[in-house]
Amino acid sequence: MSRPFRFGVNLLTPAPAAEWRAKCRRAEELGYDVILVPDHLGMPAPFPALVAAAEATHRPRLGTFVLNAGFYNPALLAREVATTDALTGGRLELGLGTGYVPAEHETAGLPYGSPRERVDHLRRTVEELDGLLGSDEYQPRTAQSRVPLLIGANGDRMLRLAAEHADIAAFTGARPGSAGGTLEPLTAEELDERVARYRGLAAGRAEPAELNLLIQLVAVTDDPEPVLKPLLERQPQLTLEAALALPIVLAGPLQDVLARVRAQRERFGFSYLTVLEPYMEAFAPVMERLREESA
């Protein structure tokens, strides 16, 4: 049986206090289940932004999507996680990844490392967080007995780590591009292979993880071509038809978008979808209709 849908919005744009709280309240009004914050320089600092979101809202969960593990010492990160979970009343979901933008590490004066080194550091971080936050002696205490862990993954070692530790396995639907800090979208067939690889690695789990997909573009429209033009310019190898078929793109008339979301849950198992802030309003009617169907 399919999991019920859950929907998150990743808030990217810094804002003064009143504007930030208003934006979070709007996400709650639209029906989002999770308010998320990324971890890039030039964007809001995740933990204080989530505490402010908690003060402005009542229902949504609050998450990092995703923290760049290379920015953090595990012991200091554990303190941030525990404090934030306490201050948000146990609404935190912790998302972790390796980071993929070398320039951010250079700006921060931190080593970027090879792919292997970054995955190794993330594994150490996950294991140390488990040990610290799972200890009865650890202070400060989390409000939840376990803060749900989301791991953003695509490569084999990351999929293995997610299979072993994550409550939520998040698929980027993209791979690192040839230029540092860029991503190239996966076709549906390529994503099939990645999800199948994850399922094989996770076959021994007692409880299956929730599967998440980050949607990069949403447009409810009878004419999606103008909306897709910037994507086609960035990815010149794509035709319009190929772009419309990408799992990370939801574009077209409302009934077509609804059908795509349902089909992707059936095909891949994605019941938890995250959209980016610019598409928060555009995705709202999709959420509303899907919830009406399941009521």
The pLDDT of 59-77, averaged and rounded, is: 98
- For residue 162, give every residue at least 6 positions away whose Cβ sits within 8 Å of its Cβ, in sequence order, or none: 151, 153, 169, 170, 198, 202, 209
Beta strands at 183-185 and 149-153: parallel, antiparallel or unpaired: unpaired
pLDDT digits (tens, 9 = 90+) for 264-295: 999 999 999 999 999 999 999 999 999 998 87
pLDDT digits (tens, 9 = 90+) for 95-114: 999 999 999 999 999 999 99
Beta strands at 61-64 and 6-10: parallel, antiparallel or unpaired: unpaired
When pLDDT is cut at 50, 70 and 90, the band that residue 182 belongs to is confident
Q: What is each CA distance from 272 to 21, 65, 166, 213, 214, in whole angstroms?
A: 24, 13, 14, 7, 9
Domains in the chain with CATH codes:
6-294 (3.20.20.30)
Average confidence score pLDDT of the chain: 96
pLDDT for position 179: 65
pLDDT for position 178: 64
Q: Of 50, 21, 20, 52, which Cα lies nearest the Cα of 35?
A: 50
d(CA 218, CA 294): 22
Q: Of 97, 70, 67, which Cα lies nearest the Cα of 80?
A: 67
